[in-house]
A and B are shown apart, each in its own frame.
Chain A
Amino acid sequence: MSSTAEPGTDTGAPIEKLNLVEAVCDGLYTEMSQHDDVVVLGEDVGKNGGVFRATAGLYEEFGEERVIDTPLAEAGIVGSAIGLALSGMRPVAEMQFMGFIYPAFDQLVSHAARLRSRSHGQYTVPMVVRAPYGGGIHAPEHHSESKEAFFVHEPGLKVVCPSTPYDAKGLLIAALRDPDPVIFLEPKLIYRAFKQEVPKGSYEVPLSEASVRREGSDISVYTWGAMTRPTLIAADNLADEYGVDVEVVDLRTLSPLDIETIVESFKKTGRAAVVHEAPKTAGLGAEISSTIQEEALLHQEAPIKRITGFDTPMPLHGVEDYYLPQAVRIQDGILETVEF
């Protein structure tokens, strides 16, 4: 049975406390249990249970025909997942890290994204491509990338990024049931950061619906994934120390954006900041900022602030804490905008 309940709502389903990566695994388990056409494929997803344990136990439960260790080839994994989807399966392809997705880029943007439009709606690619995303865990080079903008820029792809265990499971199930290809970005910094009550069984968190994590009246701060927590910390600090009332909007789905929630929040506060890990230039912050200006210019009381990674390659882990927006940077940027 499906529901779209928010956390804390009594759905009658038993509850367990899970962290984000366990919730991803539970989401896969739940859908695979109910739908034989769902298969998981990727590097080390089988016996090893995934390098982050996101597929732990699935191989033992569903067998090697449905939890498939592939040769080491991202274009092969995504290309064959497109073929599996065309044949009527529901593939979940894992990219081991987002920084290794590039060999599959051609398959994603030239084909997955546009088979529907090219074929006048005759062929669709209902698949999910999962990838651990973002920095902050002192991983080796190329293991900390946040390149959502590449995929948000591609019409025909959906892009999702949860910030809580509850949302991770619900959004993943919604993505799996979605008729279009979904890039599902998992913020690995918070894979194990905290646990949350997650219902057993099926439920969906609808795609393209942002969530207001904290209501406020002075400024709207838009963020997603692992940046949601430092943003909430900054908001609490600003309330305590400066009496600034911050509204925090967790976008959850990065494409297609929930423009209504973004704009409604801004109309209420008249000020905005966007927080993301990715570099500033041509990042998603630019899109959100432009959209607000198009939709609500007359409500605007200050420049829209972008608090982001810098326009440099993701640095080695020695200084990544300076690259990623920390609560202190977020707080400073919000204050600047509020005091403008």
Chain B
Amino acid sequence: MSAQKELNQQEPTSRVTTDTQPVQVLEADGSVCPNATVPDLSDEELLSMYEDTKLARRFDQRAISLQRQGRIATYAPMTGQEGAQVATSYALEQRDWLFPTYREHAAKYVHGVSLAALLKPLRGIREGYAVPDGVNVMPEYIPIATQIPQAMGMAWGNKLQGKVDHAVLCHFGDGATSEGDFHEGLNFAGVFDVPAVFVCNNNQWAISVPRERQTASETIAQKAQAYGIESVRVDGLDPLAVYQVTKAALSKAKNPAAGERRPTLIEAVQYRYGAHTTADDPSVYRDDDEAEEWKDKDPLDRLQKYLYKEGILDEEIDAELDERIETTIKNAITEAESVSEDPELMFEHVYEEMPDRLREQRDELAALREKYGDEAFEEVLE
């Protein structure tokens, strides 16, 4: 044992978990793990969480198919990860803020973004990023890890303004932990002790690069130790476990006990069943068998089995949910496909007041469209 590890063990007040075994509530067969406590959720809440997870999976299938048909552009699938997404957002209060990446479709949906709004940017329509008042969700972050210092900053601002009951939850992947922004964000979070929860959706793959090549650390959770903040590893395919640890982390962020620090790093251990995006082909760099092992612990199946065992769900209800989900998604697609982007919109909202030169450019484009017709702009450039 290294001297450092020995020192940690002798330090009884250490708040850092050295347990690499992820927290788990449900076994793969839907039974409750020995010694685990099922989170305090009503039957209705459990059923609702199941329905949203099921909807997320169906949405994923439909979105992939829409991309294949050329009806949306590049899409980042979430199958296998939707349980963790739904569960983390269930743990949020409406006033809490969500910082998602391009993969957190279900997390956004549960926190109030409509399915149509999720689809619009995938059709190149910007208004999908604008959410209704009271829906505290940032537009998705595409440059990796850049959201982490910003989420920290919003949590810091809330604290400075006395709003510590407004927590911030920030998603990112395993790849993001290699970026400088991860270090800077978590370091600031520790120093300024902000009400934020950082959720690393460790899906084992950053496009083609496996987790073990991303960091020589045994776990991602252990990185929190360097920032003096608490961390927890959780089975990311176990929605109830993810809900439990997220709820606890949010509670601590808002109302820490004496000696506790507000921020938490959650490592949700999961797996990206599919491709990084619809532009990616994982068969080039990984074995299909690997996914199969994870699928045995599938979050949707696990929740379904648990609810059947508990008598909360039966085949009749399940079929009703399927029907409702199908209609909801179909309506969202219809809505998203009923709008198109006006080219002049790109000139709007660059500044509060449009500079003269930009106004000239907008008018110039309008004149060219008038003169030549929109067909002239739709010719393939190459």
Contacts and interface: CB of A to CB of B under 8 A. Distances in A.
B381 A189 contact: yes
A310 B347 contact: yes
Nearest to A102: B143
A310 B214 contact: no
A71 B381 contact: no
A99 interface: yes
A226 B381 contact: yes
A12 interface: no
A332 B368 contact: yes
Given A48-B285, A328-B372, A319 B179 contact: no
Contact of B124 (A72, A136, A318, A327): A318
Given A69-B208, A72-B178, A328-B377, A193 B382 contact: yes
Contacts of B343: 319, 322
A190 interface: yes
Interface stretch (A138-146, A214-222, A238-246): A138-146
B144 interface: yes
A280 B357 CA distance: 10
Contact of A138 (B73, B178, B342): B73
Contacts of A229: 381-382
A166 interface: no
A266 interface: no
Contacts of A143: 142
A43 B214 CA distance: 10
Contacts of B361: 280, 310-311
Contacts of A100: 143-144
A273 to B, nearest CB: 14
Nearest to A136: B381
A47 B284 contact: yes
B368 A329 contact: yes
Contact of A140 (B74, B179, B284): B74
A139 B74 contact: yes
Nearest to A69: B209
A213 B225 CA distance: 59
Contacts of A311: 350, 355, 357-358, 361
B378 interface: yes
Given A281-B357, A310-B365, A322 B371 contact: no
A332 B369 CA distance: 12
Size class of A's contact patch?
A: 35 or more
Interface string B69-92: 000011000000000000000000
A43 B206 contact: yes
Interface in B310-358: 340-343, 345-347, 350, 355, 357-358
Interface residues of B, number: 53
Contacts of A84: none
Nearest to B215: A71
A70 B126 CA distance: 33
Nearest to A134: B381
A47 B340 CA distance: 39
A72 B176 contact: yes
Nearest to B286: A47
Nearest to B75: A140
Contacts of A103: 179-181
Contacts of B368: 328-329, 332
Contact of A72 (B142, B179, B277, B358): B179
Contacts of B362: 310
B36 interface: no
A35 B208 CA distance: 27
Contacts of B40: none
A interface, over-half SS: loop
A147 B209 CA distance: 27
A51 B280 CA distance: 7
A46 interface: yes
Nearest to B367: A332
Nearest to A323: B346
Contact of B341 (A102, A190, A310, A316): A316
B379 interface: yes
B175 interface: yes
A312 to B, nearest CB: 5
Interface string A228-240: 0110000000000
Interface string B194-223: 000000000000111100011100000000
Contacts of A75: 179-180
Nearest to B365: A322
A226 B346 CA distance: 22
Interface string A307-340: 0001111011111111110111100100000000
Nearest to B341: A318
A140 B73 contact: yes
A49 interface: yes
B129 to A, nearest CB: 9
A327 B377 CA distance: 8
B248 to A, nearest CB: 29
Contacts of B285: 47-48
A103 B378 CA distance: 34
A43 B371 contact: no
Nearest to B374: A322
Given A72-B176, A312-B358, A136 B382 contact: yes
A138 B378 CA distance: 12
Contacts of A70: 209
Contacts of A139: 73-74
18 contacts: A43-B209, A48-B285, A49-B284, A69-B213, A71-B213, A71-B215, A72-B175, A72-B178, A103-B181, A139-B73, A140-B73, A141-B142, A310-B358, A310-B362, A311-B361, A315-B346, A317-B124, A318-B340
Given A48-B207, A319-B345, 6 more contacts: A71-B214, A99-B143, A189-B381, A312-B350, A322-B377, A326-B379
Interface of A: 43-44, 46-49, 51, 69-76, 99-100, 102-103, 136, 138-143, 189-190, 193-194, 226, 229-230, 280-281, 310-313, 315-324, 326-329, 332
**3 A-B pairs with least C-beta separation:** A318-B124, A48-B208, A71-B178
